[in-house]
Amino acid sequence: KVAIKILRPKTGRSEDAREAAAARLQREAKAMAKLTHPNVVTIHDVGVHEGQVWLAMEFVAGGTLREWVDAGPRPFAEVWPRFRSAGLGLAAAHQAGLVHRDFKPANVLVGSDGRVQVTDFGLARLEGDEDASEPSAIRELGPAARVTSSITLSSRVTQTGAFVGTPAYMAPEQFAGGLADARSDQFAFAVTLWEALCGERPFVADSAHALMFAVLQAKLREPPRTADMSRSVRAALGRALAREPKDRFESMTELLAALEPKQRSRGLVLGVFATLALGLVAGGLWLGGDEPQVAAPTECRGDDPALAAQWNGERRKALKTQLAGLDAPYAKDSAERTVAALDDWAERYRLARVAACEDTHLRGIQSEQLLDQRTLCLDRRVRRMGEVLTVLEAADVDTLGRANTLVDSLDDLDDCANREALTRAGAPPEDPARRKVVADLEAAVDRAQTLRLAGRYEQAVAAAREAMASADEQDHGPTRISSRYELGR
């Protein structure tokens, strides 16, 4: 499936002005079409029909980050994986010379597979354009918006000669009518992340005009005490929300590095233990020897030997070469997209492992048993990745056409953080031998599913029957059900 978007130049202009606007629309759209990144919605084709520019875009089944953010504030570990992905998409666009100019939760898609993609570069500009001082000609289908007191904080304003974007997420330079650049997107990203963590945006205002004054005067509110925002995250967001673009980070990449949880997790863990030890000594409660013996903190790391065995530089390079060499005009582009999507999945997997560990050893909000269940869930995802890679490495042209489906079949990693579902599933077997049996049964079902999605139906049926027989032999209900379901597909 593809999504078609129609872009229209503004009305009320001369014929020459409309033609120039249409030409710029094509130029911008073609620049976006050259961008290939797993966290940016892909533009497949660009054309003109009866004077209107159209885009054939990747169809993404799912929702937007807007609904997710509106559900209320969330802990950093839950928020960060999605925002990191969105930030990587913005960073890739910036490296390609594109500026979004209207980044907000509604312009971030969350697919049914959990993949996060930035979309609607409707106000995007190609940096260095000779007409860069003029706002983009792209607008929403509907009446042109004007800068009046009736504009709401969530309105999208694209009127030529006025500020451009959505007021609630706009940078000071956009309010002032200046040129927006990559640092303006950085500002909008910081507003959005603040909102997800705090349940409110960083500037207090009840109208677009009040917001404009608050932003221009850099009146940043303090985050609620209940918000999961560390000092380092607060400092990074404060810098990204600076009034002057020169005072922000040099790039989105630098901002993402400053927000990385692994930079804060170790310091926080050590800080908690050091503070505890100091408090015990100062309060005269230390009952040990001459010096307090503080237990070594658990360091939560995202690197996993199982993932490294499945996805590493050597295998990545070999897969990309193999797919790109197939006899299809789209082989090279498909190879790049597939490898990039696998890279993105691997990074999200690492972050999911860190979050699972921190929920037990840092935040103390889950039991060791639940951590064990989350870890086993993630382990299965890595094994499933291995099945997908095995099929892709033997791909022909037909399988190449199914590469997106195969990568998308890697389950949403958020499922492994669903405490209610994990609790309902019950505790895993304590016996290591039985755990190995269950893992093998699950791998057999995953193999059947992967073969089916690759179009190898005879092999898929045989694999499903083998999985079902093994499940019956081992008397394992869950895989007995899933293997029979797979056989019926």
Residues that are catalytic? 102
> How would you write the chain as a 3-class SS string?
CEEEEEECCCCCCCHHHHHHHHHHHHHHHHHHHCCCCCCECCEEEEEEECCEEEEEEECCCEEEHHHHHHCCCCCHHHHHHHHHHHHHHHHHHHHCCEECCCCCHHHEEEECCCCEEECCCCCCEECCCCCCCCCCCCCCCCCCCCCCCCCCCCCCECCCCCCCECHHHCCHHHHCCCCCCHHHHHHHHHHHHHHHHHCCCCCCCCCHHHHHHHHHCCCCCCCCCCCCCCHHHHHHHHHHCCCCHHHCCCCHHHHHHHHCHHHHHHHHHHHHHHHHHHHHHHCCCCCCCCCCCCCCCCCCCCCCHHHHHHCCHHHHHHHHHHHHCCCCCCHHHHHHHHHHHHHHHHHHHHHHHHHHHHHHHCCCCCCHHHHHHHHHHHHHHHHHHHHHHHHHHCCCHHHHCCHHHHHHCCCCHHHHHCHHHHHHHCCCCCCHHHHHHHHHHHHHHHHHHHHHHCCCHHHHHHHHHHHHHHHHHHCCHHHHHHHHHHHHC
Torsion of the alpha carbons at 108, 114, 115 and 116, rounded to the nearest 10: 20
For residues 228 and 268, what is the distance between their CA atoms, to the nearest angstrom?
Answer: 13
Q: How far apart are the first and last CA of the chain?
A: 21
Position 147, amino acid: V
Q: Which two tokens stand for residue 156?
A: 């999208």
Backbone torsions φ then ψ of 220, nearest 5 degrees = -90, 125
For residues 189 and 103, what is the distance between their CA atoms, to the nearest angstrom?
Answer: 7
Q: What number of residues does the chain have?
A: 489
Ramachandran region, residue 353 (left: φ > 0; alpha: ψ -120 to 50; beta: rest) = alpha
For residues 460 and 356, what is the distance between their CA atoms, to the nearest angstrom?
Answer: 33
